[in-house]
Every structure is written in C-alpha cells, then in structure tokens.
C-alpha cells in the first residue's frame, strides 16, 4: 500500500473509529434528554440524571466539528491528490491557491462559529463555513455522482454537514425560546441528519469497493475502457503477469 492509499483510507478510518461512534453516543443522549424533559413536564420525577442534557450539548458540539472536519478531509484529499497528479499548480495556479485559501477560511470560520455569541455573528460564520464546503465541493476534481445524486456519498455528506453547522448556530437560541420552536426545528433537522449518516455509511462502503488501490488503478481503468462493466470481457494475461502469478 502506497502513501496515496494511506491518505485515501484516513477519511473512512476516522469515520469508523471516531465519528460514527460519536453519532451513536449523541443520539443516545438526545433520546435520554427528550425522555427526561417529557417526564418532567408530566409532573413525574425522572430517574434520568440532569447532566444528560449538558453531555448531549457538549458532545453535539464535538460532533459538528468532527463532521465538518471529516468532510473537509475527504474533499481536500480528492482535490489535491488529483491536482498534484495533473500538475494543476503550473496550469491553474490561481485556482490551486484559491482552494488552499478556502480550506483555511472554512476552518477559521468554523472556529469563530464556536466562539460567536450573538445571532448575527453566528449566522455570518455559519454561512461562511457552509459556503467554504460548497465551493470546495464544486471543484472539478470532486466526484459527486451527479447522475445518481439520490445515492451520492458527496451530497449526503454535504447536506449532513450543513445540518450540523445550522444546529450549532441555533444552539444558544434553543434555550432562549420559551415556545420551543427552535427545539422542534433542531429535533426535526437532526432526525434527517441521522438518516443521512446512515446513508453515508452505506454509500461510503460502496465507494470503497469502487476505488482501487494505486497498483490496481491502471488495470481497473483498462477494464472500464473495454466497457467490462456493461458487457462480458475476456482478459488475457501478458507474459509478465503470468510470471508474477507463478
């Protein structure tokens, strides 16, 4: 496995051992927080400890940063690996440095979103963070599966990231709204996000099957050139390949 393959696996590896377990923990705390609130409103005494709400908020903030971060990692690898391969830095230097600036600006915007207190600044930094992800995703090096957008790992990921950014931006408003309108919006959007995360797991596993390792790439591309994906093919081994198998 070459260094390119190692960096390719960073995105799914971090998702498996960190992001998806965190999603499960946050979902569990969200359910417990909801149940405790309903039990308290009904006049009964809940056995669920009050700290569960604070834990949900804290881990939810971690989840937003993790989802946006892993989206940036996936986009950055897809863009820069192909840019370096095609020597875009010499052909389109302005776009190359623009992409670098967008990566840095998105990270900085997310950082200030965590620090922002007023609704105006939270809206500004949430918008800048989302715009950064979208502009990076619009680069030609990113494979978006546009013809099958409804099962696209890219579109699921971008949409989930936007929902996480929005949830972080309205977090402080949830506790100020006595009519619970923002809380209702938060619940609905995060239920949608949970479905998208499930779709992410399925489409991500599918994409890993489709992406070859470096030493396989030239052979897989040859199969696509011969249209072996839509018709039967007979592959003849070269003398060098026969010797390598013996």
User: Mind listing the pLDDT tens digit for each residue in 12-55?
Assistant: 999 999 999 999 999 999 999 989 888 887 777 878 888 998 99
Residues 126, 165: contact at Cβ < 8 Å?
Answer: yes
Distance between CA 238 and CA 98 in Å, rounded? 44
Task: Measure Cα distances from 14 to 39, 118, 222 in Å.
Answer: 37, 32, 31
Are residue 136 and residue 245 in the same domain, yes or no?
no
Q: Which residue segment(s) compose the domain that 194 sits in? A: 3-211
Contacts 24+ apart (CB under 8 A), 24-32: 25/59, 26/56, 26/59, 26/60, 26/63, 27/194, 29/55, 29/56, 29/59, 30/56, 30/60, 30/190, 32/56
Nearest of 193, 170, 192 to residue 182 by alpha carbon: 170
- Whether residue 150 is found in the same domain as residue 83: yes
Residues 51 and 171 in one domain: yes
**Does residue 40 sit in the same domain as residue 135?**
yes
Are 153 and 246 in a shared domain?
Answer: no
Whole-number pLDDT of residue 196:
96
- For the segment 95-130, what is each residue's pLDDT rounded down to a tens digit? 999 999 999 999 999 999 999 999 999 999 999 999
Contact, 111 vs 141, CB < 8 A? no
Q: Is the pLDDT score of 246 beyond 60?
A: no
Query: Taking 80 as the threshold, does the pLDDT of residue 229 lie above it?
Result: no
Structural domains counted in the chain: 2
Q: For residue 209, is pLDDT > 90?
A: no
Does residue 203 share a domain with residue 93? Answer: yes
Rounded Cα distance between 69 and 10, Å, is 12
Q: Are residues 133 and 26 in the same domain?
A: yes
Specify the pLDDT at position 243: 53
pLDDT band at 245 (very low <50, low <70, confident <90, very high): very low
Q: Which pTM was predicted?
A: 0.87
Please indicate, yes or no, whether residues 150 and 230 belong to a single structural domain of this protein: no
What residues contact 107, with CB distance under 8 A and at least 6 apart? 72
Q: What pLDDT digit, counting tens, does each position of 73-85 carry?
A: 999 999 999 999 8
Average pLDDT over residues 149-174: 95
Residue pair 165/113 in contact (Cβ under 8 Å)? The answer is yes
Residues 128, 109 contacting (CB under 8 angstroms): yes
Same domain, 200 and 221: no
**What pLDDT, on the 0 to 100 scale, is given for residue 158?**
96
The answer to whether residues 152 and 169 belong to one domain is: yes
Task: Give the residue ranges of DSSP H helices in 86-152.
Answer: 88-91, 93-115, 119-137
If asked whether residues 88 and 139 sit together in one domain, one would say yes
């Amino acid at each position: 496995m070459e260094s390119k393959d190692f960096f390719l696996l960073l995105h799914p590896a971090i998702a498996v051992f960190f992001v998806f377990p965190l999603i499960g923990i946050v979902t569990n705390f969200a359910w417990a927080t909801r149940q405790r609130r309903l039990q308290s409103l009904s006049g009964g005494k809940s056995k669920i400890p009050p700290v569960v709400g604070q834990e949900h908020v804290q881990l939810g903030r971690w989840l937003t940063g993790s989802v946006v971060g892993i989206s940036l990692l996936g986009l950055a690898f897809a863009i820069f690996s192909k840019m370096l391969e095609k020597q875009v830095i010499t052909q389109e230097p302005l776009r190359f440095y623009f992409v670098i600036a967008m990566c840095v600006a998105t990270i900085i915007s997310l950082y200030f979103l965590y620090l922002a207190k007023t609704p105006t600044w939270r809206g500004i930094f949430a918008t800048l963070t989302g715009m950064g992800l979208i502009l990076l995703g619009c680069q030609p090096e990113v494979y978006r599966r546009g013809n099958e957008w409804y099962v696209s790992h890219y579109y699921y990921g971008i949409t989930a990231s936007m929902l996480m950014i929005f949830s972080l931006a309205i977090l402080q408003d949830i506790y100020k709204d006595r009519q619970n309108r923002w809380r209702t919006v938060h619940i609905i959007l995060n239920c949608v996000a949970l479905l998208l995360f499930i779709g992410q797991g399925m489409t991500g596993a599918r994409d890993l099957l489709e992406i070859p390792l470096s030493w396989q790439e030239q052979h897989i591309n040859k199969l696509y050139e011969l249209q072996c994906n839509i018709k039967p093919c007979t592959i003849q081994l070269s003398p060098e390949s026969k010797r390598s198998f013996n």
